Amino acid sequence: MVACAESRAVPSFATRDSAGVEIVENADAAWGTESEWSVAAAPALDLGVAAGQPEYEFVTILGLTRLSNGNIVVANRGTRELRFFSPAGEFIHAVGREGEGPGEFRNFNGAYRYGEDSLLVWDYRLFRWSVFDTAGAFGRIIQPSRPLMNPRALAPLDDGTLLLADTWIDDVERRTIDHQRIIRFARDGGGADSLGAFRARETFRSNDGAPVSMGRIFGATLVRAATDDGFLVGSGEEYEVLDHDASGVLRRRIRWDGEDRTVVAADVDAYRMRFRERWTGDDETSRAFLRLLAEVPSAEQFPAYADLIVDTDGNLWLAAYPRPSREGPRLWTVIDSTGRWLGEVALPAGLEVWEIGADYVLGVFDDELGVEHVRKYRLIKE
């Protein structure tokens, strides 16, 4: 009887084929207590001051990456410049300024390593990529051949081709449904291959007073990230991520078992209380938001995750959705490049993660005074 019971046990990790798509199912995490990864409690590097040396004063960081030579590049929107720092955090120099000429920016969003010796920066206002070398010398502009409505960049693929996520909206009475299409461009900006379209977000709008809108309470939002040779998307409606190749063909569904996500009345009450605390003014916009708040419905379940990052080794990191009842370090689910669920890693509370390497986590942290800091933490794998 024991032998029969063991033979019928559900495997902790299994793969199967379904009409040419690999289905990866994880019932348990692979890590034991002696093989978990962790992040050091204190940052190994902390850049940022409230006042003092201006090169360490940041205003709205919208790009952050570590280059192959170890230098860190910060895309600082406040000055429209890229700031280069040594691995030890010493300021090297800054390049760029506001403008429309070569090496200038209007509004960037994303800075990525491009091959081994280049840096790629996306400017969505100028609708172009700019390429720099690792020393910050401007190289060239890559202009996409197809106009888009609201493009955001993903990291480039290993073959040098470029991905953009474009958003369009469907109006449905007093609500809207956002969709995103992933589009692939050639290395020179030519071509425009649509790789797939996905539902991204649901929002509700007011037609009473000021024109305001807000998402469904605890509503799921699409997340996406580039891999070496394709891209991943996930809605967070289930513990599942969809893996596509560079042509947009779905090649794998990665699934894992997570905790119960049921939303209860206390969760909704806590959300609404915090929302009201942000809109206490006696202006029409505040009143319109509070009226809309009373009408917007809640999701029945929390999203399974809230963010998705692919580290430099190809592992997937998925941030736990921030529930009202939880504070402290944020858990990230780690899944390796084969789809195997490894386990969870706790990252510092309040850290906006931009990049994860083989032995580091790089992100932005706002202190109690609202000062932006660039922080690098040591990632420990034991």
- The pTM assigned to this predicted structure is 0.93
**Which of 56, 66, 124, 123 minimizes the C-alpha distance to 91?**
56
For residue 10, what pLDDT is reported?
53
CB 123 within 8 A of CB 105: yes
Say if domain 40-143+361-382 classifies as CATH 2.120.10.30.
yes
The answer on pLDDT for 254 being more than 70 is yes
Contacts of 19 (CB under 8 A, 6+ apart): none
166-223 tens-digit pLDDT: 999 888 777 899 999 999 999 999 999 999 999 999 999 987 778 899 999 999 999 9
In DSSP terms, 371 is beta-bridged to none
Instruction: Spell out where 40-101 has E strands.
Output: 45-47, 61-66, 72-76, 81-85, 91-95
Contacts of 193 (CB under 8 A, 6+ apart): 183, 184, 185, 247, 248
For residue 363, what pLDDT is reported?
98
Query: Could you tell me where in the chain the CATH 2.120.10.30 domains are found?
Result: 40-143+361-382
For residue 108, what pLDDT is reported?
92
CB 38 within 8 A of CB 332: no
The percent of residues in the chain predicted with pLDDT above 70, rounded, is 97
The answer on pLDDT for 355 being more than 50 is yes
The answer on pLDDT for 7 being more than 60 is no
Cα 51 to Cα 55, 63, 351: the distances in Å are 10, 22, 21
322-345 tens-digit pLDDT: 999 888 899 999 999 999 999 999
Task: Give mean pLDDT, residues 274-301.
Answer: 93
Q: Choose the weakest-confidence range: 123-132, 300-309, 320-329.
A: 320-329
CB 231 within 8 A of CB 216: no
> Mean pLDDT for the chain?
93
Name the burial class of residue 63, with classes exposed (0-12), middle (13-18) and buried (19+) by CB atoms within 10 angstroms of its CB: buried
For residue 172, what pLDDT is reported?
79
